[in-house]
Amino acid sequence: NAGVTQTPKFRILKIGQSMTLQCAQDMNHNYMYWYRQDPGMGLKLIYYSVGAGITDKGEVPNGYNVSRSTTEDFPLRLELAAPSQTSVYFCASSYSTGWNTGELFFGEGSRLTVL
Amino acid sequence: KQEVTQIPAALSVPEGENLVLNCSFTDSAIYNLQWFRQDPGKGLTSLLLIQSSQREQTSGRLNASLDKSSGRSTLYIAASQPGDSATYLCAVGDFYGQNFVFGPGTRLSVLP
Cβ contact (<8 Å) for B97 and A42? no
- Position A1 scores a pLDDT of 64
| Per-residue pLDDT reduced to its tens digit, A58-85 | 989 999 999 999 999 999 999 899 999 9
CA distance B14 to chain A (A): 24
- Position A95 scores a pLDDT of 87
Q: What CA–CA distances, in Å, run from A12 to A24, A88, B28, B87?
A: 21, 12, 41, 26
Using a CB-CB cut-off of 8 Å, the residues of chain A touching B100 are: 33, 45, 104
- Contact at 8 Å (CB) between B54 and B7? no
Using a CB-CB cut-off of 8 Å, the residues of chain B touching A34 are: none
CA distance B44 to A105: 8
Cβ contact (<8 Å) for A96 and B97? yes
CA distance A3 to B43: 12
Q: Profile chain B (112 residues) by mean pLDDT over runs of 10 residues.
A: 92 96 93 93 92 92 95 97 96 79 95 95
Chain B contact for A74 (CB, 8 A cutoff): no
Sorted by sequence, the CB contacts under 8 Å of residue B21 that are 6+ apart come out as B6, B11, B74, B75, B77, B88, B106, B108
**What residue ranges of chain A have pLDDT lower than 50?**
none
CA distance A81 to A105: 27
